[in-house]
Structure 1
Amino acid sequence: MEIRQSLIHRLIMKKDEQFSNLIQYCLYGKNKNLNNVESFLRTLNKFSKVLDFKSLVNISNELKECLILYKNSSNKDKNLLFKILELYSDIYSEVEKLDTELFDISIDDENNSEGSKYSNLVHKGNILVVDDDVMVLDLLEKIFSKRGYDIILCSNPFHVIKIIKENRIDLAILDLVLPETDGCDVIELIRKIDSRLPIIILSGSTDTENKIRAFRIGADDYIAKPFEEKELVARVERTITRHMNFKISSIEDGLTGAYVKSYFWRKMKEINKTYRRNQKIFSLAFIDMDCFKNINDTYGHLIGDEVLKCFVWTLRSSLRFTDYVFRFGGDEFVILFPETNEEQAYNILERFRNSIDYDKCMKSNAGIVCEGAFSAGITEVKNVYDKIEDIIKRADIALYKAKMQGKNKTCIYETPSALMENNSL
């Protein structure tokens, strides 16, 4: 059973990524995207046969045949395109359904066994449960612990704020009726310190006025006692997933998919703190597109937007999964390279500059006016006293040097003494 679940989870991790590749192929016709999708389908077919999932085998084979037809057709048939997307949607649904079925079976197996306490489950989040009924607290702890959640139990509503301040809470479950106060009063207190924390009311009251009051004050959901376990779990997981997706969307630039500037500061503080603890070096690159204003003036802002999206997409595809791309301004980007010195970061950027995908992307979106045009400045952290502002300033100075030397190049920051020494040679 564990092997089957492991295989299914691997498919789940891949299916969103491959949907993006499928869309990219349908829009731009890039063979790289098609190859990724075909590789995924081969893996899916193999796993499905091993697990005896005949429906998935049939769907993946049909999708593969449609992709071949679409690839070989000179006139791209819209109906065939819709069929391809429909088949991938079927794969998506089948994988999700199988995961749910296997998960329910595994939970039943755990309930019927006397094994150890869920020590191998992947951590899925922290849930705060506030209720004065000890039996309810114990029941909710068992329900969510076996599904990979860490549960913090609280029977005293006046301790809630302290708990939230001292712990990372992903969701709070509150009873409406609490000693010396009620759940709505607690929600109001929570909303004063955290306006986004998901809150679910779990109460024996089915009074409509109570529900309306809870929603108006800030509850995300209201579940009546006695509750059905599977429904409770589904609603909790839906709420947490929606909250997590919102958190992700709040740190990503809506146009390019790069991380936003505010997230850059948070990430830099985090990685700088790690450096001070273990001295694992990191580098930063400041990037500016040399031709972007010319593109907007000549071709318009819509084409400019497409160039930015394509630039970031090809950049991220050439970087390592540990690297971070942030949008700093209109056509300014910052890359954070963890555990990478400035020479290594330089080689990574130049490999991207000379890549075929980058060249094709620039030419297909804006013609030869944008051919190979970005400048970059790179620096690495120097010591434990190095300030984030100073690191950025050095990268910006190196970027300015690249611009002054004719653009379309990458420069590594040199200290004034090193610069004087090089100039004297």
Structure 2
Amino acid sequence: MSARILVVDDIPANVKLLEARLSAEYFDVITASNGAQALEICARSECDLILLDVMMPDMDGFEVCRRLKANPKTHFIPVVMVTALDSPSDRVRGLEAGADDFLTKPVADAVLVARVRSLTRLKMMTDELRMRAITSLEIGVQAPERSAVSDLGVGGRILLVDDRPSSYERLAPVLSAEHTVDVEPNPTEALFHAAEGNYDLLIVSLSLENYDGLRLCSQARSLERTRQIPILAIADADNNPRLLRGLEIGVNDYLMRPVDKNELLARARTQVRRRRYTDHLRDNVQHSIEAAITDGLTGLHNRRYMESHLETLAEQAATRGKPLALMMLDIDFFKSINDNHGHDCGDDVLREFAVRIRKSIRGIDLACRYGGEEFVIVMPETDMHVASMVAERLRRSIAGEPFSIDKGNKRIEVTISIGLSTLEKKGEPVAAVLKRADVALYRAKHDGRNRVVAAAA
């Protein structure tokens, strides 16, 4: 796994040591000797993770971290503070500044590499989501970084898996001060509970009596419904090898017993914030996908989606020897509606028209806005006889009830013309099917409108 690590320390010997350790693991290492230089490098998006010394002149590591996490452009870069400070209050201060972890010098090579690998893996996954969500900004979806910067990480839903009452009776009240907490003392039920509970964080004790806590973490990572839930492991002080193994299989963070309550809260807030941020990114990606295939005014699929999906439907029909019908519809005299009542009223008609289309077709049918006032409906497993019945029913539903416009203040009569065609033979280009439906539609309009015409065989 290739990643670029920024090492920030004002002591050259420390920089050289970390650089050598990371380079030996094939990481690309860049360095900075002070906070201002580090901020400048990060602003250019030149690193995947920051190893940040705390005790530096001019600007200490806490302030550098605060500035990075307050800036939407650098908020998502993982920060690991590396320092000789080792008290719980120092760790909490670093975590509250936004750090993703806090390693105490001297740092064991195995711990350093495991933590860097874990966080860079997470960063690369987040980068992929961010890249896919870029188009969301173009369609007006808010960038998640701004909400992430202001998110305090409280009010989350946490599942605590711990079978020792002496442990969970101490931890649960602490977490409950800021979150909704469910305790699951039965590890065999925990996975089902996690899958059903819509949790923001899973806290797992690695000291379960009759169950392997790491196996539970691994199972959570393997199931679709729990794969994205952050995992915070709690281990005894002599469990270092298991913690490193946990980071390899997908544990996001860990705490050593005895657990400091302030550090527990700080690490929980960090994971809840991250969960919300990645969820927002995924939502943006979903919105982007929907926007790419959906007509914004009517909510029907757009022409791009129809043209790509029609190919698939035609291939399936040909392979299975099933019929496929296509209906092309056009609102009669739509230009006069816009001219006489205004484009807002024209939009009202198009929206209502889409609603009536949905009510007249099956779930397997594909309804699309083809352009302007023209629509296409693709009907799998439908021959010309059935398609003609559906088209006539739709024509009557449009002509039979006036359309409400101008916020319900007016009602106008609307009619449509429909052209029908079917897939004639295996391997026939879908463009030919569309063309026949278009010709049939032209005949319907030429013959007086408000009618259904089937394409000649």
Larger % of strand: which?
A: 2
Select the structure of larger CA radius of gyration: 2
Larger % of helix: which?
A: 1
Shorter-chain TM-score: what band?
A: 0.3 to 0.5
Q: Which has the higher contact order (CA 8 A, sep 6+)?
A: 2
* TM-score (norm: length of structure 2): 0.43
* TM-score (norm: length of structure 1): 0.46
